[in-house]
Amino acid sequence: MFKKNIFKNNNVVVTGGAGGIGSATCELFLNYSANVYLVDKDKEKIKKIKKKLKHPKLQTFNLDITSEKDVKNFYTKIANKKLNVHHLINNAGVATLNLCKDLSVKEWDLVMNVNLKGMFLMTKHAIPLFKKGSSILNISSQAARRAQKFTAHYNASKMGVIGFTRALALELAPDVRVNAISPGTIGTDMINNEINWRIKHGWDKSKYDVEKDWLDRIPLGRYQMPDNIAKAIVAVCSNQFSETTGETINVSGGAVME
Ligand SMILES: NC(=O)c1ccc[n+]([C@@H]2O[C@H](COP(=O)([O-])OP(=O)(O)OC[C@H]3O[C@@H](n4cnc5c(N)ncnc54)[C@H](O)[C@@H]3O)[C@@H](O)[C@H]2O)c1
């Protein structure tokens, strides 16, 4: 897609970097010669992905992005090496499923903390390390723009991602661009959880029923895969998108068109 070295000497921070979309994003940035700082809370997943990618330009950091202490420690390590952050990919996110009447405050707080507070903390403490031409890419979701049952809290958090993106685009212009990508239904662990939950709670009879419901609403007729989202992230961070800021781009096979 691009020249091999377009991100050479660029430091790219990817939160949730050990997950489905995050690891595909780390891999693609590495392929384009970036120095990648993978941030994730899950030690085991980090170990696996480190082994799989086995790349000299990959550094991994085990931290919880909802902890300001963890986040500050992480950026202090970068600042101590006198490095800049060229691109910050706020990808870490969690989803649970429940009807609003059954949703616990604990569940609400978990989703808001990771999807919004974590993004805020990772952004706030990166700002002093940005330079002219840096960018932030936040991961929202089709759930922000298309209502669905069982995920009112998740939908609200992902709408929040879009609001945060727009406000930050104003605050950081003209030096730093801030955009979001809204993935549709992506083949990762996250959708398996939803399939299992819907069957367990009697909303659908089988995996086939859940998948039919989803696929019927995707004009391209297929799920998108983590590397499709990674390609979009890399593209929006590149100079090819130098005139785009405050935008949210759908990568949903047409499921969302606004
Ligand atoms: N999979 C989908 O269908 C889909 C659709 C739309 C949007 N998204 C969004 O894409 C992003 C990535 O999702 P995914 O499907 O790759 O999920 P995933 O579960 O595979 O990856 C998420 C990663 O975030 C990490 N994480 C969670 N809480 C954390 C914390 N407090 N601190 C640090 N790391 C933490 C997890 O350990 C995990 O590795 C999320 O923001 C998600 O909401 C996913």
pLDDT score for 149: 87
DSSP summary character for residue 83: P
117 & 219 share domain: no
Dihedral of CA atoms 55, 25, 37, 159 in degrees, nearest 10, equals: -170
Residue 60 falls inside a structural domain:
yes
236 & 136 share domain: yes
CA distance 100 to 29: 38
196 & 178 share domain: no
120 & 216 share domain: no
117 & 161 share domain: yes
102 & 124 share domain: yes
Residue 171 falls inside a structural domain:
yes
Neighbour-count burial for 35-58, b at 16+ CB within 10 Å, e otherwise: bbbbbbbeeebbeebbeebeeebb
Spacing, Cα 138 to ligand 1 middle (Å):
12
* Among 14, 144, 153, 161, residue whose Cα is nearest residue 95: 153
Residue 254 falls inside a structural domain:
no
For the chain, how many structural domains are there in total?
2
The residue ranges of the chain whose pLDDT is under 70 are none
pLDDT score for 140: 98
Q: Is 223 a catalytic residue?
A: no
The best mutation among 190, 233, 248 to test binding of ligand 1, ranked by most ligand atoms within 8 Å of the C-beta, falls on 190
Residue nearest to atom 1 of ligand 1 (CA): 186
140 & 213 share domain: no
Residue 93 falls inside a structural domain:
yes
Residue 69 falls inside a structural domain:
yes
Bridge partners, residue 183, by sequence:
251
The CATH number that applies at residue 170 is 3.40.50.720
CA distance 60 to 159: 29
Residue 158 CA: which ligand 1 atom is closest? 43
pLDDT score for 171: 98
164 & 179 share domain: yes
Residue 143 near residue 158 (C-beta atoms within 8 A)? yes
User: Count of CB atoms within 10 A of residue 93's CB?
Assistant: 26
Residue 26 near residue 89 (C-beta atoms within 8 A)? no
Spacing, Cα 9 to ligand 1 middle (Å):
27
Spacing, Cα 22 to ligand 1 middle (Å):
7
51 & 100 share domain: yes
Residue 43 falls inside a structural domain:
yes
pLDDT score for 139: 98
pLDDT tens profile 26-45: 999 999 999 999 999 999 99
Residue 117 falls inside a structural domain:
yes
200 & 74 share domain: no
153 & 219 share domain: no
Residue nearest to atom 21 of ligand 1 (CA): 19
User: Count of CB atoms within 10 A of residue 59's CB?
Assistant: 16
pLDDT score for 254: 98
Spacing, Cα 115 to ligand 1 middle (Å):
9
Q: Which residues line ligand 1 (CB under 6 A)?
A: 15-16, 18-22, 40-42, 45, 64-66, 91-95, 114, 118, 139, 141-142, 183, 185-186, 188-191
Of 32, 37, 75, 154, which is the active-site residue?
154
Please classify residue 141 by burial: count the beta carbons closer than 10 Å to its beta carbon, then call 0-12 exposed, 13-18 middle and 19+ buried: buried
pLDDT score for 82: 97
41 & 142 share domain: yes
222's tokens:
């297929």
Domain that holds residue 209: 190-223
Residue 6 falls inside a structural domain:
no
